[in-house]
């Protein structure tokens, strides 16, 4: 599926970057192949328009912010958050030619991140009750660009068959264990996969699971939210709750931005954020190494038989079926490299 060619994907909210980045001025980003610029208005809320001035096509992200407006760095034309040109400094009486505007996109702040939808969103950003729950802290983990596809990262997040191979250097001993319980339930937002199994505690990082024992029992509630978000809830017998939110935001057909953050019902003294981040950075570096070698264009129509499958691929196969159904419900077919070139 070439994500930039599937119009329905433009109708979802995507996490773009932490809000703090906007303190450094307008920020460029490419979402589904669309160059956008994001800036912060005087009330603190973010705004997003196409990153191309309608005067002489300069990138607005090279400009600066004045009040609520973004100012082009070339000749100073100013735009509001709806993309309308509202000021031309050289124009007597500030006469604005009809049609002087750029496309604007839906933009909001949520959970400390900027979210953008290129067209009218089909549904709101998924809920994270822990964000406002008392006793929880939020830890931003990473915001990095990878050369892979969004579906590739999503299915990897639910793929227990790779642990013993890709993660043999960190936590990947799961192949020796059978989960006590595994169930996958489809929902309107995607699916929830529930697992209970015993894991090895991260060596020398017992504070991550709050247990000094060599192993601990972990209860996973791993949700996939269409199209490319997951929330992984981990519960431990000692009452510790650890929630991982991972967004695979499609930059173009061959790249994604991974944004990941955590919620925990403990404190910095119980487990320093740096310890959690160091461990998870080691884990995702293992995934990156292999995911940057796969074809970013993951097929969603399995009847094309582009790839072979096994029983353990069930989560990824449900994702493909649901994504294909989503496209078809909006009158689209899957566009892949062969059809795009035809
Ligand atoms: Fe933007 Fe001229 S190119 S003001
Ligand atoms: Co992995």
Binned at pLDDT 50, 70 and 90, residue 237 comes out as confident
CA-closest residue to ligand 1 atom 4:
75
Residue 9 CA from chain centroid, whole number: 13
Residues 12 and 189: their CA atoms lie apart, in Å, by: 12
Residue 77 Cα to ligand 1 middle (Å): 6
| pLDDT in the model for residue 43 | 97
Binned at pLDDT 50, 70 and 90, residue 177 comes out as low
User: Does pLDDT of 128 surpass 70?
Assistant: yes
Residue 187 CA from chain centroid, whole number: 20
Question: Which of residues 173 and 126 earns the better pLDDT score?
Answer: 126
pLDDT over 90 percentage in the chain: 80
- Over residues 314-320, the mean pLDDT reads 97
Task: Mean pLDDT check: name the lowest of 34-48, 192-206, 310-324.
Answer: 192-206
The answer to whether 145 and 60 are in contact (CB under 8 A) is no
Judged by DSSP in three states, 22 sits in helix
Average confidence score pLDDT of the chain: 93
Q: Which residues surround the ion ligand 2 when the cut-off is CB under 5 Å?
A: 287
Q: Closest Cα to residue 78, out of 93, 89, 90?
A: 89
Binned at pLDDT 50, 70 and 90, residue 216 comes out as confident
Give the atom of ligand 1 at the shortest distance from the alpha carbon of 63: 1
User: Does pLDDT of 170 surpass 90?
Assistant: no
Q: Closest Cα to residue 56, out of 19, 88, 18, 94?
A: 88
Residues 288 and 63: their CA atoms lie apart, in Å, by: 34
Residue 53 Cα to ligand 2 middle (Å): 41
DSSP lists the bridge partners of residue 197 as 218
Backbone phi and psi for residue 313, each to the nearest 5 degrees, phi listed first = -85, 10
Question: Taking the CB of residue 111, how many other CB atoms lie within 10 A of it?
Answer: 21
Q: What is the pTM of this model?
A: 0.95
Q: Where are the beta strands (DSSP E) in the chain?
A: 14-18, 27-31, 34-40, 46-50, 64-66, 69-71, 78-79, 85-87, 104-110, 113-117, 137-146, 181-186, 190-200, 215-225, 229-235, 241-252, 255-264
Give the atom of ligand 1 at the shortest distance from the alpha carbon of 77: 4
The answer to whether the CB of 87 is under 6 A from ligand 1 is: no
The answer to whether the CB of 261 is under 6 A from ligand 1 is: no
| pLDDT in the model for residue 330 | 98
- Over residues 34-63, the mean pLDDT reads 98
| pLDDT in the model for residue 342 | 63
CA-closest residue to ligand 1 atom 3:
56
Give the atom of ligand 1 at the shortest distance from the alpha carbon of 76: 4
The answer to whether the CB of 100 is under 6 A from ligand 1 is: no
CA-closest residue to ligand 1 atom 2:
75
Return the residue matching tokens 């990878």: 146
Q: Predicted ipTM?
A: 0.97
Binned at pLDDT 50, 70 and 90, residue 250 comes out as very high
Please confirm whether the linkage preceding 227 is cis (ω < 30° from 0): yes
The answer to whether the CB of 55 is under 6 A from ligand 1 is: yes
- Over residues 209-237, the mean pLDDT reads 89
Question: Vertex 54, ends 52 and 57: CA angle to 5°?
Answer: 50
The answer to whether 113 and 19 are in contact (CB under 8 A) is yes
Residue 248 Cα to ligand 2 middle (Å): 14
Which ranges of the chain would DSSP assign to H, the alpha helix?
150-157, 163-166, 273-291, 314-329, 337-341
Binned at pLDDT 50, 70 and 90, residue 333 comes out as very high
- Residue to mutate (ligand 1; options 59, 64, 71, 74; most atoms within 8 A of CB): 74
């Amino acid at each position: 599926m070439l994500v930039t060619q599937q119009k329905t994907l433009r109708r979802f909210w995507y996490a773009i970057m932490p809000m703090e980045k906007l303190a450094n001025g307008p920020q460029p980003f490419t979402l589904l192949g669309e160059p956008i610029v994001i800036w912060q208005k005087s009330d603190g809320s973010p705004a997003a328009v196409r990153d191309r001035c309608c005067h002489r096509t300069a990138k607005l992200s090279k400009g600066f912010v004045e009040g609520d407006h973004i100012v082009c760095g070339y000749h100073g034309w100013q735009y509001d958050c709806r993309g309308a040109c509202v000021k031309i400094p050289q124009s007597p009486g500030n006469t604005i030619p009809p049609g002087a505007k750029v496309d604007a996109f839906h933009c909001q702040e949520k959970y400390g991140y900027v979210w953008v939808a290129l067209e009218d969103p089909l549904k709101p950003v998924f809920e994270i009750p822990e964000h406002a729950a008392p006793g929880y802290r939020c830890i931003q983990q990473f915001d990095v660009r990878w050369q892979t596809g969004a579906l590739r990262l999503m299915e990897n997040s639910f793929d227990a068959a790779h642990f013993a191979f890709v993660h043999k250097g960190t936590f990947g001993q799961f192949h020796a264990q059978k989960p006590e319980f595994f169930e996958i339930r489809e929902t309107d937002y995607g699916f929830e996969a529930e697992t209970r199994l015993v894991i090895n505690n991260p060596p020398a990082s017992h504070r991550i699971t709050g247990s000094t024992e060599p192993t601990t029992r972990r209860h996973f509630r791993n949700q996939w939210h269409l199209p490319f978000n997951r929330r992984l809830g981990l519960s431990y017998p000692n009452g510790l709750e650890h929630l991982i939110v991972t967004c695979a935001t499609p930059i173009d057909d061959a790249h994604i931005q991974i944004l990941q953050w955590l919620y925990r019902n403990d404190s910095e003294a119980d487990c320093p954020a740096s310890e959690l981040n160091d461990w998870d950075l080691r884990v995702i570096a293992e995934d990156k190494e292999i995911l940057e070698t796969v074809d970013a264009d993951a097929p969603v129509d399995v009847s094309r038989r582009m790839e072979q499958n096994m029983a353990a691929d069930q989560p990824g196969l449900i994702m493909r079926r649901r994504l294909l159904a989503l496209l078809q419900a909006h009158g689209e077919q899957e566009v892949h490299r062969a059809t795009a070139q035809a």
